Amino acid sequence: MPNNAIKVTQLKPLSRNFFARPTVTVAHDLLGKLVVRIFDDGSYAAGMIVETEAYTGLEDPASHAYRGNTARVRAMFEEPGHAYIYFIYGMYYCLNAVAKGEEQKAGGVLIRALEPVMGIERMQQESSGHTPHKLTNGPGKLTRALHINRTLYGTDLTRKGPLYICEFETISEKNIMAGPRVGISKAIEHHWRFYIKDNPCVSR
DNA sequence: CACCCGATTATCT
DNA sequence: GATAATCGGGTGT
């Protein structure tokens, strides 16, 4: 079935339990899921997750939550399955899904790249001058293409609304790669970045 | 292709 | 006052 025949209304959001597991497990399992963005005017766009990173909270020196709960990181200490969105380098937003096991106080999965699936023209309205596979091949680029900003902080990603994540494709284990996280200098020994092998939308 | 750097601002020290 | 889970454009090899 071609992608343009998929109806967004038929897609099933992930369950709360999906996110209520260890952050690293959720980061791995989010590959192949679909991020759906419904705009205020009723138009929509969506992309398949092809790259993620796990940030495990209080025990992870690279995590924004490492130094404890603050107004900025509040969402990462609250219920799994909600959006933790942060503003960085004075101009980019990045999207995380709050994910943590019972033992964890905080944790989030950074969505680093998507493969556009629906609403590519709508994404190009937000990010002009990009070929489709370059619209969402980075954490700051996918939020621009999907018009994700502070107003969506804390959004429940398990319920149909302006932003949610659905079941979509199952990725074969042999096509899932792991490596060190990008853009950090601490805890580089952890291979908590996951991506789909040979996918052109992976950020690097 | 490999580095290098500037943009621009919320957040925390 | 320094920093930052980025990006895109520039220069040199």
Tens of pLDDT, residue by residue over A96-142, are: 999 999 999 999 999 999 999 999 999 998 887 688 899 999 999 99
Six-digit token pair at A187? Answer: 């805890």
A111 burial class (0-12, 13-18, 19+ CB within 10 angstroms)? buried
Mean pLDDT along residues A10-20: 97
Nearby residues of A26 by Cβ (< 8 Å), 6 or more positions away = A18, A19, A54, A97, A99, A109
pLDDT digits (tens, 9 = 90+) for A48-73: 999 999 999 999 999 999 999 999 99
Q: Tokens 């052109």 sit at which residue?
A: A200
pLDDT given at position A93: 98
Q: Is the pLDDT of residue A196 over 70?
A: yes
Report pTM.
0.96
Residue A179's alpha-carbon distances to A58, A67, A103, in angstroms, are: 21, 24, 24
Q: According to DSSP H, which parts of chain A are helical?
A: 16-19, 23-29, 120-126, 139-145
* CA distance between the termini of chain A: 29
* Interatomic distance A86 CA / B8 C1' (Å): 15
Q: Tokens 């023209």 sit at which residue?
A: A121
Six-digit token pair at A158? Answer: 């398990």
Strand B contact nucleotides, protein CB < 7 Å = 7-13
pLDDT given at position A134: 93
Residue A131's alpha-carbon distances to A52, A120, A193, in angstroms, are: 22, 10, 25
Q: Does residue A58 reach within 7 angstroms of strand C, measured from its CB?
A: no
Closest nucleotide (C1' vs CA) to A129 is: C8
pLDDT band for position A8 (cuts 50, 70, 90) = confident
